[in-house]
């Protein structure tokens, strides 16, 4: 038996004016055929799980297409069209397939189709026909659509945020495919869509308000007919009708049971809805708290959440920290990373050891702050490539943030400047540039929950900071035009019958 493998992963923030183009995929991941196995076969990604699960089942894996871009604005119509052309050319060239394993993100938005994942899954279903099983994984931040559910045999979402179980979910999907092809099971799924958006600040799956939901889901798996279930937390930065939280249950040929159990998960989410309204801590309040804590303290810059598509050059926190540095009883050693190719070039031209006046970050727009001005010494210049051996959010092991400069102010602020946007999912980002995370009192990580896996082992305290930006955690402030109405917490009196 042969099973094809397709992955198209992009988290699209529709509140960003700049679109995601084909070159963004080319910079990160855009592969066909056996190059996919070579690049992804030994990672912590679900595609690696696909390969291992099929191998264990003695089924031939046929890698077809894999694409990923760092979260950013909606995918252009031109890029989306080219991605699908390459996807289906690879499918057409493949030998006869018995099934297809897919890895959509679940929150991809294209300029010409807001339910981009549902669209390409629909095209895939039309190509392979109704009898070929399609089983896939989903990011926990999926904005699930009925089309995604109706056109697949089973969908399995990550159960952790940060996403540390991606590979395990890939193995689970491949095992489900093997059992389906052998005639042992007939996956039958149902989903529910409560009118609920869980705030991004509330989406750490190990925290008390979410643990009971996952414990409930785990107990359901003890029932003989239940093959899988998933809680979809949703991605609040996509202005689409599907935006929000949902739940899926997959049973062995029992549609009524799948529907009933999915509704139970949905009801449990709905009953806890007030626990999912975010806690907003201002910059000054966060710095006041941090000043009284033993470090390192990780400040999570929610308004410049790179994993949510932000520009990675917000300076609001950097300015506030810089003002406090050097003051008696104020902030001590601090670290900030900014995407700033122009300043990287300036530092490289000056050379290591040079001192120069610099304007760091704040170059995308005024929403994310003005450049941080000061005199900095160039402490080091690096290629910006690093590897991560441990499972971390995103599932990849090899990273490239482009030419990188580390500069330092005599007031105690160390700034890493990168040529490419890089989510802070690995401490190797610092260590590879000769920086010891433990020597800083403050470490700014531009994210919400995803950086926790990397930073928690060295930071006894993590504080989520309500900074301004296109990924503001205060989603009530976002100008939605297409979301469902009414919806909690936008309309607090929303009911769900």
Over the stretch 303-355, which tens digit does the pLDDT of each residue have?
A: 999 999 999 999 999 999 999 986 655 567 999 999 999 999 999 999 999 99
pLDDT score of 391: 81
Tell me the average pLDDT across 380-401: 89
* Helix/strand/coil for 120: helix
Give residues with Cβ within 8 angstroms of 225, minimum separation 6. 251, 252, 253, 254, 257
Bridge partner list, 230: 248
pLDDT score of 328: 55
With a pLDDT cut of 90, the percent of the chain lying above it is 95
State the Cα–Cα distance between residues 137 and 289, nearest whole angstrom. Answer: 39
pLDDT score of 38: 96
pLDDT score of 329: 52
Over the stretch 283-297, which tens digit does the pLDDT of each residue have?
A: 999 999 999 999 899
State the Cα–Cα distance between residues 397 and 219, nearest whole angstrom. Answer: 33
pLDDT category at 271 given cuts 50, 70, 90 is very high
Tell me the average pLDDT across 98-102: 98
Q: What are phi and psi of 442, to 5 degrees?
A: -120, 135
β-sheet with 29-32: strand ranges across: 29-32, 60-68, 2-9, 99-104, 134-138, 154-157
pLDDT score of 39: 95
pLDDT score of 150: 98
With a pLDDT cut of 70, the percent of the chain lying above it is 99
- Out of 94-98, 322-326, 492-496, least confident range: 322-326
State the Cα–Cα distance between residues 314 and 421, nearest whole angstrom. Answer: 12
What average pLDDT is seen over the chain?
96
pLDDT category at 366 given cuts 50, 70, 90 is confident
Q: Residue 80: count other Cβ atoms within 10 Å of its Cβ.
A: 24
Tell me the average pLDDT across 140-162: 98
Q: Are 144 and 484 in contact (CB under 8 A)?
A: no
Q: Are 77 and 110 in contact (CB under 8 A)?
A: yes
- Please name the residue that has the structure tokens 């930071």: 459
pLDDT score of 389: 87
State the Cα–Cα distance between residues 260 and 200, nearest whole angstrom. Answer: 28
pTM of the model: 0.95
Predicted confidence (pLDDT) at residue 163 exceeds the cutoff of 60? yes
């Amino acid at each position: 038996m042969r099973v094809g493998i397709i992955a198209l992963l992009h988290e699209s923030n529709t509140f960003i004016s700049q679109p995601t183009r084909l070159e963004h995929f080319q910079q990160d991941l855009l592969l066909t055929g056996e190059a996919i196995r070579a690049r992804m076969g030994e990672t912590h990604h679900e595609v690696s799980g696909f390969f291992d699960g099929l191998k264990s089942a003695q089924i031939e894996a046929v890698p077809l297409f894999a694409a990923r871009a760092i979260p950013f604005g909606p995918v252009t119509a031109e890029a989306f069209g080219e991605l699908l052309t390459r996807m289906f050319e690879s499918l057409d060239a493949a030998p006869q397939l018995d099934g297809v394993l897919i890895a959509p993100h679940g929150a991809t938005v294209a300029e010409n189709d807001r339910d981009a994942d549902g669209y390409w899954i629909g095209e895939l279903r039309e190509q392979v026909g109704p009898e070929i099983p399609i089983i896939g994984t989903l990011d926990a931040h999926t904005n699930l659509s009925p089309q995604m559910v109706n056109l697949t045999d089973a969908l399995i979402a990550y159960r952790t945020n940060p996403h540390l179980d991606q590979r395990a979910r890939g193995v689970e999907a491949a095992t489900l495919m093997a059992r389906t092809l052998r005639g042992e099971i007939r996956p039958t799924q149902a989903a529910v869509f409560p009118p609920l958006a869980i705030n991004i600040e509330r989406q750490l799956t190990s925290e008390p308000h979410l643990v009971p939901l996952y414990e409930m889901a785990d107990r359901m798996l003890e029932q003989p007919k239940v093959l899988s279930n998933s809680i979809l937390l949703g991605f609040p930065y996509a202005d689409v009708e599907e935006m929000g939280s949902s739940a899926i249950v997959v049973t062995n040929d029992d549609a009524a049971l799948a529907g009933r159990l999915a509704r139970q998960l949905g009801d449990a989410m709905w009953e806890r809805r007030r626990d999912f309204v975010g806690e907003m801590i201002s910059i000054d309040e966060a710095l006041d708290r941090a000043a009284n804590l033993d470090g390192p303290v990780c400040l999570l810059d929610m308004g410049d959440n790179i994993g949510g598509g932000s520009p990675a050059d917000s300076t609001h926190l950097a300015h506030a920290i810089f003002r406090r540095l050097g003051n008696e009883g104020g902030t001590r050693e601090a670290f900030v990373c900014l995407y700033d190719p122009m300043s990287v070039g300036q530092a490289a031209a000056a050379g290591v050891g040079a001192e120069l006046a610099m304007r760091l970050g704040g170059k995308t727009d005024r929403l994310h702050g003005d450049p941080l001005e000061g005199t900095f010494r160039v402490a080091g210049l690096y290629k910006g490539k690093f590897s991560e051996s441990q499972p971390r959010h995103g599932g990849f092991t090899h990273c490239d943030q482009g030419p990188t400069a580390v500069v330092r102010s005599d007031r105690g602020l160390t700034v890493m400047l990168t040529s490419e946007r890089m989510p802070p999912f690995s401490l190797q980002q610092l260590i590879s540039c000769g920086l010891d995370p433990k020597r800083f009192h403050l470490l700014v990580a531009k994210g919400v929950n995803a950086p926790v896996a990397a930073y928690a082992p060295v930071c006894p305290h993590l504080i989520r900071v309500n900074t301004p930006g296109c990924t503001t955690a205060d989603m009530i402030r976002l100008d939605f035009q297409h979301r469902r109405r009414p919806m909690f917490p936008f309309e607090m009196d929303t009911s769900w019958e």
